[in-house]
Amino acid sequence: MALIRLNEIAHSYLAKPQGPSDYALKRIHNEWEDGGAYALLGPSGCGKTTLLNIISGLLTPSEGRVLYDGQDVTDLPPEKRNIAQVFQFPVLYDIMTVYDNLAFPLRNRRVATNEIRQRVHDVAELLDLTPFLKKKAAGLSADAKQKISLGRGLVRSDVAAILFDEPLTVIDPHLKWQLRRKLKEIHEQLKLTLVYVTHDQVEAMTFAEKVVVMIEGEIVQIGTPQELFESPAHTFVGYFIGSPGMNFLPCTIEGRSARVNGTAIRLDAATASLGKQAAGEIQLGIRPMYLQVHDHPVDDSVSAAVTLVEDQGSCKIITLAMGNQVLRARVPEDHPVPVEKAWLVFPPDWTKLYADGRLLR
Ligand code: ATP
Instruction: Count the helices and strands in the chain (H runs, E runs).
Output: 9, 22
State residue 218's pLDDT score.
95
Cβ(1) – ligand 1 distance below 6 Å: no
Cβ(15) – ligand 1 distance below 6 Å: no
Q: What residues contact residue 143 under an 8 Å CB cut-off, 6+ apart? A: 170, 171, 172, 175
State residue 117's pLDDT score.
97
- The protein residue with its alpha carbon nearest to ligand 1, atom 28, reads 13
- The one-letter code for the residue type at 171 is I
Q: Which of 40, 50, 169, 196 to mutate to test the pocket of ligand 1 (most atoms within 8 A of CB)?
A: 50
Cβ(42) – ligand 1 distance below 6 Å: yes
Q: Which of 11, 12, 13 to mutate to test the pocket of ligand 1 (most atoms within 8 A of CB)?
A: 13
Q: Residues of the chain whose pLDDT is less than 70?
A: 1
State residue 1's pLDDT score.
67
